């Protein structure tokens, strides 16, 4: 089993009010790791101390697209926090082939900027990466054009885009060390549910990944119709209780 982490965007409102308390609660639930999405005004070194004291690992972080202007700042922050994988979005529209190829240029530049720092660079998808453009999925074009890029596959948004998430994870498993695990009604404007309470076949999705490539299963809920903390706890219980992921409890 692969370890389970929480994408902290899930509890962003609570984190904005008190980030240390959120980290403590995440660790208390049993999550083995965290994926950062901002530090809520705290210094990286301060956050790293708290994470270490709680026995949490850092799976990755969602950050800005690395450019010549911000790369050193991002590298310094990653190295202080112990972030091995920096994840970002496409940095612009990808609804035409010209835009997809322009995105590939940005991503290739980012890979180069991070290479000397030994920080892996990945793309997190929403549904647009899995809506066909000229007969191809943008995700496939980007992975082909940017060989140094890894895919953080968000299995929920793959489903919203149209493809079968199980088949997609199986097809792209060689490039997917991180999976974003979320669940819900597969309606873009509807809130998500706790993992295991929606329409996705989570066990089949996890099984489709390559255990020699996959490093982390990362729970993320963009929104939820129920109490968010309750959903975070239920998601952990489902994943660990069903032998799909390894936690600390």
Task: Indicate whether 248 belongs to any domain.
Answer: no
Report how many domains make up the chain: 1
Q: Where are the alpha helices (DSSP H) in the chain?
A: 12-17, 19-29, 44-53, 71-81, 97-115, 138-145, 155-161, 165-171, 202-208, 228-241
Question: What pLDDT does residue 188 have?
Answer: 87
Task: Indicate whether 177 belongs to any domain.
Answer: yes
Per the structure block, which two tokens stand in for 78? 């990653």
Per-residue pLDDT 10s for the chain (249 aa) are 999 999 999 999 999 999 999 999 999 999 999 999 999 999 999 999 999 999 999 999 999 999 999 999 999 999 999 999 999 999 999 999 999 999 999 999 999 999 999 999 999 999 999 999 999 999 999 999 999 999 999 999 999 999 999 999 999 999 999 999 999 999 988 999 999 999 999 999 999 999 999 999 999 999 998 999 999 999 999 999 999 999 999
Task: Indicate whether 249 belongs to any domain.
Answer: no
Task: Indicate whether 227 belongs to any domain.
Answer: yes
Per the structure block, which two tokens stand in for 10? 């899930």
Task: Indicate whether 246 belongs to any domain.
Answer: no
Asked if 2 and 215 touch (Cβ cutoff 8 Å), the reply is yes
Q: Any idea what the CATH number is for the domain that residue 144 is in?
A: 3.20.20.150
Question: What pLDDT does residue 239 have?
Answer: 98
Where in the sequence is the domain holding 176, given as residue range(s)?
Answer: 4-240
Non-local (6+) Cβ contacts of 186 within 8 A are 156, 159, 160, 198, 199, 200
Task: Indicate whether 93 belongs to any domain.
Answer: yes
């Amino acid at each position: 089993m692969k370890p389970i982490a929480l994408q902290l965007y899930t509890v962003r409102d609570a984190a904005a009010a008190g980030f240390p308390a959120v980290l403590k609660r995440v660790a208390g639930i049993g999550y083995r790791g965290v994926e950062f999405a901002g530090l809520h005004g705290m210094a990286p070194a301060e956050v790293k101390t708290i994470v270490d004291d709680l026995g949490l690992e850092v799976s990755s972080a969602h950050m800005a697209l690395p450019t010549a202007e911000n790369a050193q700042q991002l590298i310094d922050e990653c190295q202080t926090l112990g972030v091995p994988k920096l994840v970002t979005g496409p940095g612009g529209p990808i609804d035409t082939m010209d835009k997809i190829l322009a995105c590939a240029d940005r991503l290739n530049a980012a890979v180069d900027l991070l290479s000397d720092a030994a920080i892996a660079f990945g793309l997190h998808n929403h549904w647009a990466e899995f809506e066909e453009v000229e007969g191809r999925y943008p995700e496939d074009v980007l992975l082909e054009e940017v060989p140094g890029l890894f895919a953080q596959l968000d299995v929920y948004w793959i489903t919203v885009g149209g493809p079968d998430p199980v088949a997609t994870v199986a097809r792209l498993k060689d490039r997917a060390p991180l999976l974003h695990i979320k669940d819900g009604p597969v309606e873009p404007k509807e809130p998500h549910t706790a993992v295991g309470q929606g329409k996705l076949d989570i066990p089949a999705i996890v099984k489709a990944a390559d255990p020699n490539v996959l490093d982390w299963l990362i729970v993320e809920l963009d929104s939820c119709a129920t109490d968010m903390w309750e959903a975070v706890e239920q998601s952990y219980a489902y994943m660990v209780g069903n032998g799909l992921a390894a936690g600390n409890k």
